[in-house]
Amino acid sequence: MARTTPPDPAAPRLAALAALLADETRASFCLALLDGRAWTAGELARHAGVAPSTTSEHLGKLIAGGLLAEERQGRHRYVRLTDERAAHLVEELAARVVPDALDRPRTLRAASTGSALARGRTCYDHLAGRLGITITEAMTARGLLRQDTGFALTGEGLGWFGSLGIGLDPGTRRPLVRACLDWTERKPHLAGVAGAALCRHALDTGWCVRIGSGRAVKATPDGERALAELLGIEAATIR
């Protein structure tokens, strides 16, 4: 009698994780939370167009499955993606989705939102979209970042961050730099400690500002000047 191979013990856990994102409502929640902020259940319910009772059920599954973390402040309940690894998983899967040519925006507002997200957005805690890709490619062209053997900051790159006063915490277990596949550009953008620090610096200094209450961001005139001076980025390429 042929001996059968024992089942992989990780298979049930992988199937359970995949099932969490196999529901359109839960996937919508996770995509919204890629803005890196905490949302209330009510905000997510309105975003996905579902009832509060339905939202509570879905959030319970996402929290139990480890994709979301819950925070309570008084009477208010907030949820966010558990960590950068959870955000990377969601963004990576979104980047693997083949666009449907027939699935076009049905309203002017939807088209405007989609265009803004494609130009620039936050991917959890780092910059993505055309803005993030352009910065990543400019850093590579200037010898600050290497992509030939995986993402790595060069000595010049470390010095560049230091010259801007951007600290890169060496004590964290998170990778210093990491490639994150961009779901609109289909190219890697800068993530990891350095990507998060650069995004935070851009928002804190006013180089970039958020558009509305979602993930979309854009470079300000000050940001366009700074990126032109520091990385040689032409303003027209990120507008």
d(CA 75, CA 211) in angstroms, rounded, equals 28
Shortest CA distance to 194 belongs to which of 237, 144, 131, 229? Answer: 144
Residue 23, pLDDT score: 95
pLDDT tens, 94-152?
A: 877 755 544 555 554 555 667 888 899 998 899 999 999 999 999 999 999 999 888 99
Q: Do 110 and 205 form a contact (C-beta atoms < 8 A)?
A: no
Residue 149, pLDDT score: 82
Q: Do 155 and 173 form a contact (C-beta atoms < 8 A)?
A: no
Residue 101, pLDDT score: 42
Q: Do 131 and 198 form a contact (C-beta atoms < 8 A)?
A: no
Burial code (b: 16+ CB inside 10 Å, e: under 16) for 54-63 equals ebeebbeebe
Residue given tokens 């400019």 in the structure block: 138
pLDDT tens, 46-63?
A: 989 999 989 999 999 999
Q: What are the chain's domains?
A: 18-82 (1.10.10.10), 115-238 (no CATH)
pLDDT tens, 10-56?
A: 888 999 999 999 999 999 999 999 888 899 999 999 989 999 989 99
DSSP string, 79-109: EEESSHHHHHHHHHHHHTSPPPTT---SSHH
pLDDT tens, 146-193?
A: 998 889 999 999 999 999 999 998 666 788 999 988 888 888 999 999
Q: Do 84 and 124 form a contact (C-beta atoms < 8 A)?
A: yes
